[in-house]
Amino acid sequence: MKFKIFLLSIVVLSLVGCSQKPIYKLSPANEDIDLSEGKEIAFRSDSLFETAINFEYFTETEICFYTYFYNGTDSIIEINPSEFRLSGEITNSDLKLKTKVVHAISSEVILQRIKKEKEDVKRDHHLLSCANCLLATLSFVFIDDEDEYADEKRGNTVINWIGNQAEIESATEAKLQKLKRKKIFWENEVLKKTFLHPDEEIGGLIYFPLIQFKICKISLPFKKDKIHFGFKKVQVN
């Protein structure tokens, strides 16, 4: 009996292992790299300008990188993440190489979206509060004064109104706090359009829409030049 249980355990563990979802990361391909806290950082460096980038993580809809720039020139350089491009290459079912290009997600666009979402939350709060108040008022109106349970029904109506309003307030506050945290993150952690003065440096996260690929190239345009970094998808489990 114990032997059968042992065999069954092996089968179950094998099935669990086979069904494990693969986890991927992006590693620099044919790039000068530096290792820092387990991260593979690809970099370009000369006497005037330094650029570095490393893969951070995948989300369900995005790919995140961290980027760093140092301006050693004697002129101002514009850093505009919305012009950063990621081109991914993958072989389709016909064994033909297919390339798809996406631009980095603009933090300005996301912040405007957050502002709109905040306005929508406040509007919904107002509508729900009005509906809750109207429902309580109608409940009072239709209570028959001659009903021996009229006072009890009025009390229950007030209790329901207070409970419903508390739920509305709690849900609204939770949504507003979530939007606030998101706003702070995109304002402080994500790279925004900026002008880098001589001897200044800047770093921040950039996000690209998630696309399927085996290898990709990130292009960072500066003035009339472009800096390219190659990455390959590697399974880590």
Flag whether pLDDT at 87 surpasses 90: yes
| Interval 151-162: pLDDT, tens | 888 888 889 999
Give the tokens for residue 169: 């307030």
Laid out side by side, the sheet with 97-103 consists of: 24-28, 225-235, 215-222, 85-91, 97-103
Evaluate the CA torsion angle 219, 221, 222, 223 in order and state its sign.
positive
Q: Which of 166, 179, 175, 168 is nearest to 126 (CA)?
A: 168
Q: Are 164 and 109 in contact (CB under 8 A)?
A: no
- Please give the sequence-ordered ranges of beta strands (E in DSSP) within the chain, or none if there are none: 24-28, 33-36, 39-45, 49-58, 62-71, 77-79, 85-91, 97-103, 194-196, 200-209, 215-222, 225-235
Q: Are 87 and 103 in contact (CB under 8 A)?
A: no
Phi, psi of 233 (to 5 degrees): -85, 130
Please provide the CATH number assigned to the domain covering 22-109+190-235: 2.60.40
**Residue 10 banded pLDDT, cuts 50, 70, 90:** very low
| Interval 151-198: pLDDT, tens | 888 888 889 999 999 999 999 999 999 999 999 999 999 999 999 999
Give the tokens for residue 160: 């329901």
Q: Delimit the domains of the chain by residue range.
A: 22-109+190-235, 112-187
**Residue 69 banded pLDDT, cuts 50, 70, 90:** very high
Q: Are 29 and 88 in contact (CB under 8 A)?
A: no
Residue 182 confidence (pLDDT) = 96
107-141 vs 150-188: helix crossing angle, rounded to 10: 180
**Residue 91 banded pLDDT, cuts 50, 70, 90:** low
The whole-angstrom separation of Cα 80 and Cα 84 is 7
The whole-angstrom separation of Cα 170 and Cα 84 is 40
Q: Are 208 and 99 in contact (CB under 8 A)?
A: no
